[in-house]
Structure 1
């Protein structure tokens, strides 16, 4: 069998299926250049750093919740210059009773709470040692006084003796003078011997000089005697005073009321031993009271004697004045005494507390902010002022003046309509800005 072969002609078309792949064209993609990519990365990083710096809290700022602070407005009004006080009722006059000398209580004549009169005996003490000492002192003083009286008697006798001697000398001088005057003319005519006249003349001269010497001696003795008598009299008076004091100390064992009033704190018992100077009670003035109040040391320079205060009691108001100021400061306060002007409230008791309002000055128009705890933290030198949108508060230096229980006077740094934080600034004193979150 003969094999047959098929020869394809060149111009014969292929019978393969026709597709559109021959018509497709590859398109080349173009990406961002490396430089542009680096620049975009740097810009994104700088934006992130800027946003973090803007929104991140700093050491001089702090974020607080707006509902955790108190925001108050700055207003214009009338400043009432007063301070409220809490005053305690005390007796107007209190006299404390102390045992001048110690001893044993022998007798009680009144009871605690009794009303006593001035000079009334309230108790009797005994002190054997003091009694014996007073008696010994009295005996010693009397002996010394007797000795001084003996000396005074001796001085008086010496004075009399001197006066007697002067008188005798003057008498002798007078006799010698008369004898001299009789013999002088006779001796001149030779009727009296010269020796006799010379003796007469010498005797007269002696007696005259003797009188002068005795008078000088008498004057000297008199001067010394006067000085001695003055000293002895002064010593006697001193001894008498000492004896009177000893007797007074002995009499002080009888305890008496120095003033009239109500006796309180009198709790001694019969047989009790009292020490010298021990407090045994006190006497309060009857029916008269005063008020004692504590005032903050901030007002120490502004409270003056005579300033008026209004006291509220039983729905009525009573007037009082500052009667005494105690400048000692304890626990941030000093004390003052208020004395009622006119009538006192009825039925007030010792230790009772009353509300008082002390006026420091006349009302005056001023820019005001509410009084708050912030003042204690800043001293009135700066405040946090709230921004108009209420989202932040900035520290601002201000100058605040007088204050009362409700408002504080603004002298500089704030305007009416602004708002400030009046709540405590605890932990915020080193901040310059506060962010208030809603």
Structure 2
């Protein structure tokens, strides 16, 4: 008699199928869970940095580099072009005002000086000849005036005598008229001679003044030419240090070409490069400070150069107090430039988290410190040490400020000691 075999409900194959389906569902759930931002990650506390949010004095500053330069530099340009014949000093020499630096030669200029000197000497000779001629002419006129005066006196004497004789009928009218005519003639001749002498004197004065003016003009031109030749010797305009000297013996220099500069010693400024992003916020009067040899020194912006080169612009800063001892031209200083006044703010220490979050969120620790979870925040200005917290955190909150590179997709960190 046949026996009915009862079919098993949980066969091995069926069990394996169910287990596979459950495992697949688990993987799908885990994937959804992890990608939905609800994941957790165990983190060793020794591998992270935790900072406390606190209230404190905040000032927005930016780090910049500045180069120490003399506050006053006077450029040396070739006033006249020429060939470098001799160098009296070398670059870096401490100079006194008027001390020669180098000598140029310019044959055209020197020849022009000789020609100008010759012209002046010729003019001076011609003036002397003209003066002698004028003096001789004056002497002749004076002699003529003397003769005329003498003839006038004789004609008057004869006229007066004849007049008396005529009135006494001792002589005839004819003889009297002749003496009268001769006397009147001498009177007119005397007046004419005196007028000629006056005109000659005025003419001589005018010619002398013109000659003097011409001679003075020639002398001025000669003085200018001598100065131009004298400028072939380049001299220090002030006391200071000679720097950037660019001249070698035998080298030709054009008029106006830069030869070097004189740096006035004892006073310095700092030339600072600033990113163009801050151009609208930089102005004269802003202050900065730096540490040098263990001491802090303050600077103030005196001038802003608005021209942008390679994404940066420059400012000049001056020392507002004592200048550091030992500071040298060309030395680089690391300066903190203040962009705002000091104010009371909520502060969060700077850290690597900002690279992943952009300051939009952080991992904030729970009260017991066992976990850290995401919170949205808003950060404001910053300085080299702190961010200014606008919202999302309170004083006393503890925040993971180290890099989030390995867990920026996590929603919560489980902190393990």
TM-score, structure 2 as length reference: 0.58
Superposition deviation, residue 311 in structure 1? 4.2
| CA contact 2:61–2:336 (8 Å) conserved in 1 | no
Distance in 2 between the 1:363 and 1:258 partners? 45
Aligned to 1:130: 109
Distance of aligned partners of 1:281 and 1:217 in 2 relative to their CA distance in 1, 3 Å threshold? same
Distance of aligned partners of 1:228 and 1:317 in 2 relative to their CA distance in 1, 3 Å threshold? farther
Distance in 2 between the 1:183 and 1:143 partners? 60
Aligned residue among 231, 243, 266 for 2:210: 231
Superposition deviation, residue 112 in structure 1? 1.2
| CA contact 2:89–2:102 (8 Å) conserved in 1 | yes
Aligned residue among 130, 136, 146 for 1:167: 146
Q: Deviations over 1:314-348 (max 9, x none)?
A: 2545466666677x755699866544455312222
| CA contact 2:273–2:314 (8 Å) conserved in 1 | yes
Distance in 2 between the 1:84 and 1:205 partners? 108
Distance of aligned partners of 1:297 and 1:97 in 2 relative to their CA distance in 1, 3 Å threshold? same
| CA contact 2:64–2:336 (8 Å) conserved in 1 | yes
Aligned to 1:248: 227
Aligned residue among 183, 195, 200 for 1:204: 183
Matches within 5 A, 1:28-427: 87-292=66-271, 298=280, 303=284, 307=285, 309=287, 311-314=289-292, 316-318=295-297, 329-330=307-308, 337-341=316-320, 343-354=322-333, 355=335
Unpaired runs of 5+ residues, structure 2, are: 1-55, 345-374, 384-389, 394-410, 412-417
Superposition deviation, residue 219 in structure 1? 2.7
RMSD: 4.2
Superposition deviation, residue 233 in structure 1? 0.9
SS at match of 1:237: helix
The structure with the larger Rg is 1
Distance in 2 between the 1:235 and 1:289 partners? 50
Distance in 1 between the 2:187 and 2:343 partners? 99
Distance of aligned partners of 1:221 and 1:271 in 2 relative to their CA distance in 1, 3 Å threshold? same
Distance of aligned partners of 1:201 and 1:297 in 2 relative to their CA distance in 1, 3 Å threshold? farther
Q: Deviations over 1:33-84 (max 9, x none)?
A: xxxxxxxxxxxxxxxxxxxxxxxxxxxxxxxxxxxxxxxxxxxx99989999
Counting matched residue pairs gives 299
Unpaired runs of 5+ residues, structure 1, are: 1-76, 366-389, 392-403, 407-415, 420-437
TM-score, structure 1 as length reference: 0.55
Distance of aligned partners of 1:173 and 1:103 in 2 relative to their CA distance in 1, 3 Å threshold? same
| CA contact 1:84–1:405 (8 Å) conserved in 2 | no
Superposition deviation, residue 139 in structure 1? 1.6
Distance in 1 between the 2:382 and 2:211 partners? 71
Distance in 2 between the 1:161 and 1:418 partners? 115
Distance in 1 between the 2:132 and 2:113 partners? 28
Superposition deviation, residue 190 in structure 1? 1.1
Distance of aligned partners of 1:174 and 1:363 in 2 relative to their CA distance in 1, 3 Å threshold? farther
Aligned to 2:364: none
Q: Deviations over 1:100-157 (max 9, x none)?
A: 3333323222111111222222223333333333223322232122223322332333
Deviates more, 1:80-89 or 1:170-179: 80-89
